[in-house]
Amino acid sequence: MAPLSLPPFSSSAMDGFALQGVSGRAGTSLTVVGESLAGHPYAGTLSAGECIRITTGAPVPDGADTVIIQENCERDGKAVTLMASVETGANIRQPGHDVHKGETVCSRGRPLSPFAIGWLAACGITDVDVVERPRVAIFSTGDELAAPGEPLTDGQIYDANRFAVMALLEGLPVRVTDLGILPDDPARIEQALSDAARTHELILTSGGVSVGDADYVRDIVQRLGRIELWRLNLKPGKPLAFGTVGTSLFIGLPGNPVSTIVTCLLVAKPLILRLAGAEPSAPRYHRARLMERIEHTAGREEFQRGVIQRQETTTWVHVSGDQSSNRLATFSGADCLIRIPKTAGDLAEGSEVDVLPLYGLSDAF
């Protein structure tokens, strides 16, 4: 709640001269009796026929109710002649123009954005109650994974997901613990998940939640806690698992890097914001027209990586090449996700689609 009105006093919106509105006709000459500069108010009271020099943000003195901009005045020593008429009350910011004392500045459930922080500071507020940033544990899983920087042995690939997920969470109100790579070893996975659950509000893993022989993660979560949901009607991202381990929530992101990234943005991010105290909010889609046909079989909602192109008043979008869920290259040059509704069949060139801009998608606001 604002402890004071902003501005706290009647102030000038422009650089010029403060006067009494009744004398604001073109051709009138007034005597300059002083000045009110930002931070240095004029202490006196204006009388008829008088004006003061005033700058933007400076207090309007008693007796004055109008400011005329300096461009509309001619000054000669102590005399100012108005070259244009000015309406009474012009160029004055009334107290409370920005916020009135007692009004809400920031409300529960909203992120403490840079804009909110600026407004809180403007109100002189130094302390606010906030929800603590949730602690999020991040694992990659898979015997085939090596950390970037290590040599690759036969059959190994580098762990991409942990780094992508950590980077995606950077703009969010979280405290991340990087817990490295877990091998496809049930005992090791069980131990690591139960340890992490004790000190985190959310565990994010990638890989090991599909139907392969070495996909142990889901069974282990089921044993340690509960699997509430497995498999989304979503492409990419179908094998996602959601559940609990002790008091911690658990999301098993799919292993294919594109699936990991897309579900991290569409599923993990909203959950993290909820844990951080935010009210739920719908994704902010924009509308765009397809520059090319997209083939789609009705039945599953799909998100393809796309490139937006603005032409005059129309926003166009095209896909960023082969959309296989292992190809991180689909993000190269992409700046949005194109949503293909579950019920849609093939989408014709020129048809309208929803797009989610990728940049900003991993921010809290």
Should residue 252 be labelled a site residue for ligand AMP when binding is judged by CB under 6 A?
no
Q: Which stretch binds ligand AMP (CB under 6 A): 154-162, 169-177, 243-251, 308-316?
A: 154-162
CB of 229 to Mg ion, least distance (A): 20
Should residue 257 be labelled a site residue for Mg ion when binding is judged by CB under 5 A?
no
CB of 253 to Mg ion, least distance (A): 11
Cα 165 from Cα 229, distance rounded (Å): 21
CB of 210 to ligand AMP, least distance (A): 4
Should residue 138 be labelled a site residue for ligand AMP when binding is judged by CB under 6 A?
no
Question: Before 236, cis peptide (omega within 30)?
Answer: yes
Question: Before 134, cis peptide (omega within 30)?
Answer: no
At 106, the amino acid letter reads C
The HSE-up count of residue 117 (CA atoms within 13 Å, CB side) is: 5
Q: What's phi and psi for 173, nearest 5 deg?
A: -80, 80
63 vs 186, which CB is nearer to ligand AMP?
Answer: 186
3-state secondary structure 52-63: EEECCCCECCEC
Cα 109 from Cα 352, distance rounded (Å): 33
Query: Strands 29-36 and 73-76, how do they pair?
Result: unpaired
Should residue 306 be labelled a site residue for ligand AMP when binding is judged by CB under 6 A?
no
43 vs 211, which CB is nearer to Mg ion?
Answer: 211
Should residue 251 be labelled a site residue for ligand AMP when binding is judged by CB under 6 A?
no
CB of 217 to ligand AMP, least distance (A): 8
Q: How would DSSP label each residue in 324-362?
A: -TT-GGGGTT--EEEEE-TT--PBPTT-EEEEEESTTTT
Interface residues for Mg ion in 206-235 (CB under 5 A)?
A: 207-208
Partner touching 210 among ligand AMP, Mg ion, none, CB below 5 to 8 Å by kind: ligand AMP
Q: Tell the residue number behind the tokens 């580098």, with chain if given.
A: 158
Partner touching 59 among Mg ion, ligand AMP, none, CB below 5 to 8 Å by kind: none
Interface residues for ligand AMP in 191-210 (CB under 6 A)?
A: 206-208, 210
For Mg ion, which residue of 142, 225, 252, 306 counts as binding (CB under 5 A)?
A: 142
Partner touching 91 among ligand AMP, Mg ion, none, CB below 5 to 8 Å by kind: none
204 vs 294, which CB is nearer to ligand AMP?
Answer: 204
CB of 228 to ligand AMP, least distance (A): 19
Q: Are 316 and 287 in contact (CB under 8 A)?
A: no
- In 3D, which of 5, 13, 12 has the Cα closest to residue 61? 12
Give exposure, 4-14, as e/b (b: 16+ Cβ within 10 Å).
bbbbeebbbbb
CB of 156 to ligand AMP, least distance (A): 9
Q: Total residues at the site for ligand AMP (CB under 6 A)? A: 19
Partner touching 140 among Mg ion, ligand AMP, none, CB below 5 to 8 Å by kind: ligand AMP
Contact residues for Mg ion, defined by CB under 5 A: 142, 207-208, 255
Contact residues for ligand AMP, defined by CB under 6 A: 140, 142, 144-145, 157, 159-162, 206-208, 210, 212, 215, 254-257
